[in-house]
Amino acid sequence: MKYVTEYRDAALVKGVIEEIRRTVTRPWTMMEICGGQTHAIVRHGLDQLLPAEIELVHGPGCPVCVTPLELIDKALAIASRPDVIFCSYGDMLRVPGSGRDLFSVKAQGGDVRVVYSPLDAVTLAQQNPDKQVVFFAIGFETTAPPNVMSVLQAQRLGLKNYSILVSHVRVPPAIHAILSSPENRVQGFLLAGHVCAVMGYWEYPGLAKKFNVPMVVTGFEPLDIANGILQTVQLLEANRIEVGNAYSRAVTLEGNQPAQNTIQKVFMECDRKWRGIGMIPMSGWCLRPEFEAFNAEKRFNVETIKAEESPLCIAGQILQGLKKPQQCSAFGTICNPEHPLGATMVSSEGACAAYYKYGRIEMKDSVSS
Amino acid sequence: MSDETVNMEGAVCAPPLPHNEQIVMGHGAGGRMTHKLIQNSFLPAFNNPALRAGDDAAVLEPKAGLQLSISTDAHVVWPLFFPGGDIGRLAVCGTVNDVAMLGATPFYLTAGFILEEGLSIETLRHVIESMQAAAQEANVQIVAGDTKVVQKGKADGLYITTAGVGFVRPGLKVGGAQAKPGDVVILSGSIGDHGIAVLGARGELGFQSSIQSDVAPLNHLIDAMLNASSNVHVLRDPTRGGLGTTLNEIASQSNIGIVLDEQTIPVHSDVNAACEMLGFDPLYIANEGKLIAMVAHEDADAVLKAMRQTRYGEEAVMIGEVTAEPHGRVLMKTAIGSQRVVDMLAGEMLPRIC
């Protein structure tokens, strides 16, 4: 498959790994910010090929994982209403709220549907004028353009029965929060290629300078990730604080300007709670006042719903790169993909799910021979 | 007045409509309509003495001393027709394959139909014809059946449950617990075709695809394999849950390890593309016309050669080997030269957000 196969070429990947080996002279800790990259690293076993000096810590870049419990509970309340068709991206269905998930709401008669695009939800609203259609608009900058497009499309069509439940988050404030923590160990960042394809990477040089940490825009195939790591190591070893781009086939400095303008038209920055981490100032996007009519929280009056996390789950520390999944007492025992305690075990992009699925602990114990 | 005289003699009730076009509740009531449906729709296709006898059960005469293999499978696929197959072909092949995976030669099937009120009889006939064609291809007879009708909205058009009976080859011991360290793992062809074809037919891919379901009866393929070697230890079709889940089942049943080589596992490029776009892993997508075999190392070449000479085994390949350790685990050498664990599918396969 074009643009995939060549980036999974064993010989090319090994060549880059060798180059990393030749370049590295001391231990470095770097974070891949995006859950899609965590998934790819573990799926292809890339981290096992790296020299021992490189430690990868997994970042908070899984939109499913960081969607706050409170918002899931709001989604469950809205989806349970008989007048609602609740639409969501697939892997949100399994995320547990306080005691149940969207699957259980569906089994109890709620009309919950998986859509691949929010525009499909708008079409559903057109086809079902007697129903309220709600789309669960989660995600980082990557899913923001289609999500805001759905609002603009619904407005253009004059639809009164379409709304979105917004839980959008942004990468730069999350990096700011991680680097501001006194416990921070991250010395370099692999920036999320898909996010930068939309936003460019003009937001990052300021952050890199402020915290003295180099960053490299990185793609998602093994060769892309290996190249991102190599560039990060080169910058670290040379003590150069810059933002590099190892994903230039998809990302430019300024990004997709029309997409950014469309986002700005519908969304504005706001404070946002991250599941397991807590409030990060101005880290989210929410609807501008002129689009308030499309706000599902207001329409269904669920703004007062509050919720508390399970005290056992350390998803927050995992999302900040402070702990690895196997350092959690619940990992693989009372917390597993069938009974997830926290969202990092739910989404296939979540670090705990990736570790569980690809058997990180057993690999060490049983395969080393 | 005389011109308008009404003749009050003879029948005054309007005759009931024949309902030859669509299923109504009366087709399941067991009376004349049920009989007519069986006479006109089922019997012409499934024509055999056992069914024609019209009794409540079929009487079969196996040779003395043979072991029976029996299996049952319910089919609820939506849509009823998809590229490469339909619910009828699936209902026959699914059960034929389940029986054949124990090393048995399937001979007889039964079929139970749950029909939704309003189903067009033409649709039902297409399904029945497809079942008969698949039965003929697999060389099995459908010897007993049942039909029930449920109210509109209580079923997705039609559901079919089939049961199958086969006779085990004498002296043969094939099963999920028989894998042995040193065995070679063979896959009969590309994975993921059925699951992606059905998703495409539901309009859930968001794009057009030319992917065809692989639904097929595999008993002739298995015959060829068992004729080529008496050291075939495991046969299993990786249906729901896909190759990854099925291999985990075998690893745990046989208490062995399995090491796969990612690069040898055949996946059609359009299936791969669909999986990449949706965030699916082909290892967990359903197949309906593929099998996995664990065969003694020394017989692997002979078995592969025999497989490749059959219609449904042309693309058969070696994908890995059985190891003593780690017990109950499936490992995979990745394309970039690393190694990872392949786990079972946890629940429903969900498309990823981005």
Interface size between A and B, measured as CB pairs under 8 A: 112
Give the DSSP letter string of B5-59. Answer: ----SS--SPPPP---SB--GGGGSSSHHHHHHIIIIITTTS--HHHHT--SS--
Quick one: average pLDDT of B302-323?
A: 98
Distance CA B298, CA A297 (A): 66
Summarize chain A as % helix, strand, coil (round to 5).
Answer: 45, 20, 35
Residue B340 to residue A43, Cβ atoms within 8 A: yes
Our CA-based measurement puts residue B254 at a distance from the nearest CA of chain A, in whole angstroms, of 18
Q: From chain B, pick out residues whose CB is under 8 angstroms from the CB of A138.
A: 353
Give the DSSP letter string of A4-56. Answer: TGGGG-HHHHHHHHHHHHHH--S-EEEEEEEHHHHHHHHHHTHHHHS-TTEEE
Q: From chain B, pick out residues whose CB is under 8 angstroms from the CB of A337.
A: 346-347
Give domain status of residue A188, yes or no. yes
C-beta neighbour count of A9 within 10 angstroms: 15
Q: Domain boundary at A291, A310, A329, which?
A: A310
Q: From chain A, pick out residues whose CB is under 8 angstroms from the CB of B269.
A: 1
Percentage of chain A beyond pLDDT 70 is 96
Distance CA B65, CA B121 (A): 43
Q: From chain B, pick out residues whose CB is under 8 angstroms from the CB of A367.
A: 326, 331, 339
Residue-wise pLDDT for A204-238, tens only, equals 999 999 999 999 999 999 999 999 999 999 999 99
Our CA-based measurement puts residue B193 at a distance from the nearest CA of chain A, in whole angstroms, of 16
Question: What pLDDT, on the 0 to 100 scale, is given for residue A92?
Answer: 87
Distance CA B307, CA B314 (A): 7
- φ, ψ at A290 (rounded to 5°): -70, -10
CATH number of B25-59+66-168: 3.30.1330.10
Strand partners, A111: A85
Give domain status of residue A326, yes or no. yes
Looking at the fold, whether A125 and A244 belong to one and the same domain comes out as yes
**Domain layout of chain B by residue ranges:** 25-59+66-168, 184-342
Looking at the fold, whether A175 and A201 belong to one and the same domain comes out as yes
Q: Which residue of B has its CA nearest to A367?
A: B326
**Domain holding A244: CATH number?**
3.40.50.11740
Quick one: average pLDDT of B117-127?
A: 96
Looking at the fold, whether A56 and A177 belong to one and the same domain comes out as yes
pLDDT class for B52, splitting at 50, 70, 90?
confident
Q: Is the pLDDT of residue A126 over 60?
A: yes
Residue-wise pLDDT for A130-150, tens only, equals 999 999 999 999 999 999 999
Our CA-based measurement puts residue B327 at a distance from the nearest CA of chain A, in whole angstroms, of 9
Residue-wise pLDDT for B248-268, tens only, equals 999 999 999 999 999 999 999
Kindly state the tokens that stand for B286: 């359903």
What does each C-alpha distance from B240 to A126, B193, B249, B301 come to in angstroms?
Answer: 35, 12, 12, 28
Question: What pLDDT, on the 0 to 100 scale, is given for residue B202?
Answer: 87
- Residues A242, A244, A246, CA angle at the centre, nearest 5°? 165
Question: What is the extent of the structural domain holding A339?
Answer: 315-361
Quick one: average pLDDT of A250-275?
A: 96
Residue-wise pLDDT for B137-179, tens only, equals 999 999 999 999 999 999 999 999 999 999 999 889 999 999 9
Looking at the fold, whether A7 and A30 belong to one and the same domain comes out as yes
Looking at the fold, whether A329 and A208 belong to one and the same domain comes out as no
Q: Which residue bears the tokens 């190249």?
A: A227
Q: Compute the mean pLDDT over every residue in chain A, rounded to the nearest whole number.
A: 91
Looking at the fold, whether A255 and A336 belong to one and the same domain comes out as no
Q: From chain A, pick out residues whose CB is under 8 angstroms from the CB of B343.
A: 356-359
Q: Is the pLDDT of residue B1 over 50?
A: no
Looking at the fold, whether A322 and A271 belong to one and the same domain comes out as no
Residue B341 to residue A363, Cβ atoms within 8 A: yes
Q: Which residue has the higher pLDDT, A62 or B188?
A: B188
Give domain status of residue A369, yes or no. no
Q: Is the pLDDT of residue A88 over 80?
A: yes
Question: What pLDDT, on the 0 to 100 scale, is given for residue B353?
Answer: 60
Looking at the fold, whether A258 and A350 belong to one and the same domain comes out as no
Q: Which residue has the higher pLDDT, B170 or B319?
A: B319
For chain A, what is the domain count?
Answer: 2
CB-based burial of residue B19 (10 Å sphere; 0-12 exposed, 13-18 middle, 19+ buried)?
A: middle
Give domain status of residue A293, yes or no. yes
Report chain B residues touching chain A, CB-CB < 8 A. 204, 206, 269, 272-273, 276, 278-279, 325-326, 329, 331, 334-341, 343, 346-348, 350-354
Q: How does B236-272 read in b/e, with b if 16+ C-beta sit within 10 Å?
A: bbbbebbbbbbbbbbbbbbebbbbbbbeebbbbebbb
Question: What pLDDT, on the 0 to 100 scale, is given for residue A285?
Answer: 97
Are B73 and B162 spatial neighbours (Cβ–Cβ below 8 Å)?
Answer: yes
Looking at the fold, whether A165 and A219 belong to one and the same domain comes out as yes
Q: Is the pLDDT of residue A362 over 80?
A: no
Residue A347 to residue B341, Cβ atoms within 8 A: no
Of A197-206, A296-305, A330-339, B294-303, the range with the lowest mean pLDDT is A330-339
Q: Which residue bears the tokens 């093994």?
A: A222
Question: What pLDDT, on the 0 to 100 scale, is given for residue B278?
Answer: 84
Question: What pLDDT, on the 0 to 100 scale, is given for residue B352?
Answer: 64
Looking at the fold, whether A302 and A333 belong to one and the same domain comes out as no
Q: Is the pLDDT of residue B17 over 90?
A: no
Quick one: average pLDDT of A54-64?
A: 89
Question: What pLDDT, on the 0 to 100 scale, is given for residue A336?
Answer: 86
ipTM of the complex: 0.80
Question: What pLDDT, on the 0 to 100 scale, is given for residue B3?
Answer: 56
Are A365 and B257 spatial neighbours (Cβ–Cβ below 8 Å)?
Answer: no
Give domain status of residue A366, yes or no. no
Q: Which residue of B has its CA nearest to A5?
A: B335
Looking at the fold, whether A270 and A164 belong to one and the same domain comes out as yes
Residue A44 to residue B341, Cβ atoms within 8 A: no
Which amino acid is it at B327?
H
CB-based burial of residue B324 (10 Å sphere; 0-12 exposed, 13-18 middle, 19+ buried)?
A: exposed
CB-based burial of residue B126 (10 Å sphere; 0-12 exposed, 13-18 middle, 19+ buried)?
A: middle
Looking at the fold, whether A212 and A65 belong to one and the same domain comes out as yes
Count how many Cα atoms sit within 13 Å of the Cα of residue B308 in the half-sphere of its side chain: 11
Q: Which residue of A has its CA nearest to B276?
A: A4
CATH number of B184-342: 3.90.650.10
CB-nearest partner of A359 from B278, B340, B354 = B340
Mutation to test the B interface, candidates A43, A124, A220, A360, most B Cβ within 10 Å: A43
Our CA-based measurement puts residue B351 at a distance from the nearest CA of chain A, in whole angstroms, of 5
Give domain status of residue A157, yes or no. yes
Give domain status of residue A368, yes or no. no
Q: Which residue of A has its CA nearest to B278?
A: A116
Q: Which residue of A has its CA nearest to B344?
A: A357
